[in-house]
Amino acid sequence: MRRRCKTAILISGSGTNLQAFIDAVSAGRLNLDLTVVCSNNANAFGLQRATKAGIPTVCVRHTDFPDRESFDAAVIANLDRFAPDLLILAGFMRMLSPIFVARYAGKILNIHPALLPLYPGLNTHQRVIEAGDDWHGSTVHFVTEKLDGGPRILQGRLAVHRGESADELAARVQAVEHQIYPEAAGWVGSGRVELRDGQTWMDSKLSDEPVKRTF
Ligand code: GAR
């Protein structure tokens, strides 16, 4: 039997996506070994979620380091003790250096709250509302050196309600994330999806477009 994929989850805050992974694994819907949770923020509520679930935690404060490279080197040193097969960025609000991305090439996933390639960067919900878009959502993608620009795997989209606030829209997008992120991570963990030559492959076929779900 294939060994369960050792998975590190990196967070900075509330960790509702982390909770979705914990819940999916404990319900037997997701075959990953949640090996460690790492935060750059000692006050991240997600650390409490991990501890409650019995997952080891590490905290590497970015404010303790003079630059991105030395912070990333410390995160790598901490993660390597757990020999992860897969890294899940779940609201990890630090940009990764090229050294970090190269160290775990093809093994890092991120979720970004927009229908990439639309709206990379911050404040996506507000920008979608201001643009008057009909659709919004979230994208699971491989992490490469290009911020929010790595090959996409799975997208969940929903219709924007006329007159809703950015906070209301964000909450609905997060509920979508809690479904699509564990699902996409399961595909990568099982080897069904992989990053090959800078592109997403699914079931041994090149996947130009992400899998798309409407909620
Ligand atoms: C998520 O909505 C995720 O899409 C976003 O941070 C939130 C974390 O929430 N990530 C980014 O904006 C990355 N560019 P959580 O801590 O409750 O999982």
pLDDT tens digits, 150-206: 999 999 999 999 999 999 999 999 999 999 999 999 999 999 999 999 999 999 999
Is 160 close to ligand 1, i.e. is its CB under 6 Å away?
Answer: no
- Helix, strand, coil percent values for the chain (each to nearest 5): 35, 25, 40
Q: Does residue 1 surpass a pLDDT of 60? A: no
H/E element, 43: none
Is 112 close to ligand 1, i.e. is its CB under 6 Å away?
Answer: yes
Establish whether 112 is a catalytic residue. yes
Helices (H), 61-209: 68-80, 98-103, 124-131, 166-189
pLDDT at residue 24 in the model:
98
Whole-angstrom distance, CA of residue 156 vs CA of residue 105: 25
pLDDT at residue 182 in the model:
98
Report the separation in Å between the CA atom of 113 and the middle of ligand 1, taken as the mean of its atom positions: 7
pTM: 0.97
User: What percent of the chain shows pLDDT beyond 90?
Assistant: 98
Task: Report all structural domains of the chain as residue ranges with CATH numbers, in order of start.
Answer: 1-104 (3.40.50.170), 110-215 (3.40.50.170)
Atom of ligand 1 at shortest range from CA of 20: 18
Report the separation in Å between the CA atom of 18 and the middle of ligand 1, taken as the mean of its atom positions: 10
